[in-house]
Structure 1
Amino acid sequence: MQHRPFSRTGWQVNPIGFGAWAIGADWGAVSDRDAEAALNAALDKGVNFIDTADVYGMGRSEKLIAKVLKSRGGKKDIIVPTKAGRKLQPHVAEGYTIQAITGFVEQSLKNLEVDALDVLQLHCPPTPVYSNTALFDGLEKLVQAGKLKYYGVSVQDVDEAIKAMDYPIVSIQIIFNMLRQKPIDKLFDLAKRKNVAIIARVPLASGLLTGKMKSDTRFGQDDHRNYNIHGAAFDVGETFSGVPYDVGLAAVEKLRPLVPGGTTMAAMALRWILMFDAVTVAIPGAKNVQQAESNVAAGDLPALTKEQMEAVKQVYDADIRPLVHHRW
């Protein structure tokens, strides 16, 4: 799989990156040892894009990344976007001042042990924030001050992504997978025209699209797939892509026959995402070496056939679209 250009930055990124939420928090227990091993395995396989956020373990994810990169001789050409905003208490639009964001940026600079953040993404802010011109002007000043190289947004829905392109952002992070296909209809062509990178998050629908989960699968108390299954902690769309668990399991069984021999459903799900040239990078998480290596290998799978792509669309249209398409 060839690298893909990341907007106007000049960076070329492996289309399979590393999503560092799971090594920070909210996905069950992950030891520092396993987290570091997973990161090293991904980097050894050619990953050069590691996405994180200041709230992933309240700095733990950022610090683990810094430690691993330092042990490998420095950051070099590895791109490490982070996010800010979710530390706000309460998390309301009025809290998104440039003063608050600057404070978060300063802490992330320390955690990541860098002089400038590669990309600072607003972390799924309330919708009114996308009309806050002063905030985006402030982000531009942080670029001029050398605190950021670029900035972008992580969004909950397609309409927010479209609004964000009113500003000189380099990237949009959005949920995109076989169970969340709305970006195809409304976002991708516009992003290509405006040269905005698309970062596909939750690419395996919180593990649903690994094909390994069953109706009796249980998740730990510290796993968002337990405590956020109804959206109690944050937007329910972040957990199983907002698809009811039983509906998701049934859809997976319809998708299973499409998996090519010799590979896995997770690999097919990642390869499906890369069939869309508007996507710059998908960021599956990994809690151990095996997961990290299998994620990266998905990028080298042959292209899916027209028949496979159509079959995925049929499952989505019949079973999933009525539940999620209008919401995000």
Structure 2
Amino acid sequence: MLVCMEFFTLNGAQVSRIGLGTWAIGGSEWGAVPEADAIATCLAIFDHGINLIDTAPIYGFGRSEQLIGKAIRQHGRRQDFYIATKAGLEWNDRGVFSNSDPARLRQEFEDSLRRLGTDYVDLYQIHWPDTTLPVERAAEVLRQLFDAGRIRAVGVSNFSAAQMDAFSKIVPLHSNQPPYNLFEREIDASTLPYCHSHNIAVLTYSSLCRSLLAGRLKADTPIPEGDIRREDPKFQLPRFAQYLQAVQQLDAFAQQHYGKRVLHLAVRWVLDRPGISAALWGAKRPEQLAPIPEVMGWHLDASAMAEIDRIVAACVTDPVGPEYLTPGVRT
């Protein structure tokens, strides 16, 4: 199928509207991923017109960045990749905590460069706001890196409108990365309008709601030990049945009106929402990128959006957001 990727501009760079999300290839919370599969997946993005890869140190505790670094070296052209990584999460035997201590952020940045095998980052993001410190402290670190040319664009992730406002007073803010999908729309209230009015790009994660909108899950699909979805309230009965019913009806709607499946509909929905710049697509193997061309070349009109809203509201009577992903507060 002919590649027809869409692009947006992020601080002067042309970036694909679909990006590879690499939480899964880290292997720590989505099951083991062979190194060869992970590297092949990172290289397969070019078959689909993608240049954006999003990662973070917390994904596999450094392994995701290391694998991307190996893929970059195997490919041979660093400039072909638009690499977005993050800082601001620490982990220990008690769990995962937000930590934007300036000294730690500087060390995280150097560690990420080493793992990625590069001397700059295209987009550097604060992964979660650290509520024990003013957000300006993290912004000051990114300001220094940006002014030095070591990062090409400045981003945040999971920040509220108020937090972005404070952050952007210190350094130009180019992007925010929140969760957003058919079932999780919390950013519609204030985050998305703020980004839209301040020219801040929005790169969404969980576009398929942890594979719930991929259309493959059934009520008796086993979720393996160590899989992050075991902690997600959406995957617990009886609520799980409500979401599966919505997926079934959305799939029927997509087939009837567009000759597509729910997976294509879900990602197209994200891309067609006003103010959304890009949607991240998680994959562990190259073949999991195969449906991407089916997302391109068509759009959802207002009546389709309304029918999707009706289906979701009718089926999911006990909705829940992605709050369970929020890291702990360090003491």
Q: Do Structure 1 and Structure 2 share a fold, with TM-score over 0.5? A: yes
The residue aligned with 1:303 is 299
CA distance in structure 2 between the partners assigned to 1:324 and 1:162 by the alignment: 27
> Do structure 1's residue 216 and structure 2's residue 213 form an aligned pair?
no
The secondary structure found in structure 2 opposite 1:139 is helix
Offset from partner CA, 1:68-106 (integer Å, 9 cap, x none): 12211221132111111222557556x421101111111
TM-score by length of 1: 0.85
Specify the alignment match of 2:329 in structure 1: none
Taking structure 1 as reference, are residues 105 and 21 closer, same or farther at Cα in structure 2, changes over 3 Å only?
same
Per-residue deviation, 1:300: 1.3
Q: In the alignment, does 2:44 pair up with 1:41?
A: yes
Aligned length: 312
Q: Could you list the runs of 5+ residues in structure 2 that have no partner in the other structure?
A: 327-331
**Contact kept? 2:88, 2:130, Cα under 8 Å:** no
Corresponding residue SS for 1:206: coil
2:181: which partner in 1?
177
> How far has the Cα of 1:291 moved from its partner?
1.1
Distance 1:255 1:156 in 2: 30
Inter-CA distance 297–12: structure 2 relative to 1 (3 Å threshold)? same
Name the amino acid aligned to 1:211.
Answer: G
What is the CA-CA distance between 1:202 and the residue it aligns to?
Answer: 0.3
Distance of 2:120 and 2:284 partners within structure 1: 27
Once the two structures are TM-superposed, the CA of residue 107 in structure 1 deviates from its matched residue by 0.4
Task: Give the direction of change, closer, same or farther, for the CA distance of 1:163–1:208 in structure 2 (3 Å limit).
Answer: farther
Match of 1:287 among 271, 281, 284: 284
**Matched residue of 2:39: which SS?**
helix
Comparing 98-107 with 260-269, greater Cα deviation is found at 260-269
Compute the displacement of 1:255 (Å): 1.6
Counterpart residue number, 1:105: 109
Aligned counterpart, 1:152: 155
Q: Secondary structure at the match of 1:81?
A: strand
Distance 1:21 1:198, change over 3 A: same
Q: Is the 8 A contact 1:98 1:139 kept in 2?
A: no
Deviating above 4 A after TM superposition, structure 1's stretches of 4 or more consecutive aligned residues are 88-93, 156-167, 318-322, 325-328
How far is 1:149 from its partner?
2.5
SS of alignment partner, residue 152 of structure 2: strand
Q: Does 183-192 or 196-205 show the bigger shift?
A: 183-192
**Secondary structure of residue in 2 paired with 1:283:** strand
CA contact (8 A) 2:242 2:315 kept: yes
Give the Cα separation in 1 of the matches to 2:318 and 2:232: 19
Q: Give the superposition deviation at 1:41.
A: 1.8
Question: Could you say which residue in structure 1 is the equivalent of 2:144?
Answer: 141
SS in 2 for 1:149: coil
- The 3-state SS of whatever aligns with 2:307 is helix
Question: What residue in structure 1 maps to residue 86 of structure 2?
Answer: 83
SS at match of 1:310: helix
After superposition, the C-alpha distances for 1:36-66 in whole angstroms (9 at most, x for unaligned) are 2222222222101000001111111111111
**Is 45-54 or 216-225 further displaced after alignment?**
216-225
**1:3 aligned partner:** 7
Mark the CA change 1:88 to 1:11 in structure 2 (over 3 Å): closer, same or farther.
Answer: same
What one-letter code is carried by the residue in structure 1 that aligns with 2:241? D
Q: Structure 2: how far apart are the matches of 1:314 and 1:156?
A: 29
2:249 corresponds to: 254
Residue pair 1:143, 1:149 contacting (<8 A) in 2 also? yes
Separation of aligned partners in 2, 1:252 and 1:103: 43
Give yes or no for the alignment of 1:53 onto 2:53. Answer: no
Match of residue 315 from structure 1: 311
CA contact (8 A) 2:265 2:295 kept: no
C-alpha separation between the residues in 2 aligned to 1:48 and 1:120? 16
Choose which of 11, 15, 18 in structure 1 pairs with 2:17.
15
Distance change (3 Å), C-alpha of 1:301 and 1:216: farther
Q: Is the 8 A contact 2:19 2:280 kept in 1?
A: yes
- Offset of residue 132 of structure 1: 3.0
Task: Tell me what 1:236 maps to.
Answer: none
**C-alpha separation between the residues in 1 aligned to 2:322 and 2:74?**
46
> Residue 120 of structure 1 contacts residue 148 of structure 1 at CA under 8 Å; is this kept in 2?
yes
Measure, in 1, the Cα distance between the counterparts of 2:289 and 2:146. Answer: 32
- SS of equivalent to 1:302: coil
Return 14-23 or 153-162, whichever deviates more: 153-162
Helix, strand or coil at the partner of 1:198: strand
Report the RMSD for the aligned CA atoms in angstroms.
2.6
1:150-180 Cα deviation digits (max 9, x unpaired): 3211117666556655552211000111111
**2:212 & 2:165 partners in 1: Cα distance?**
28
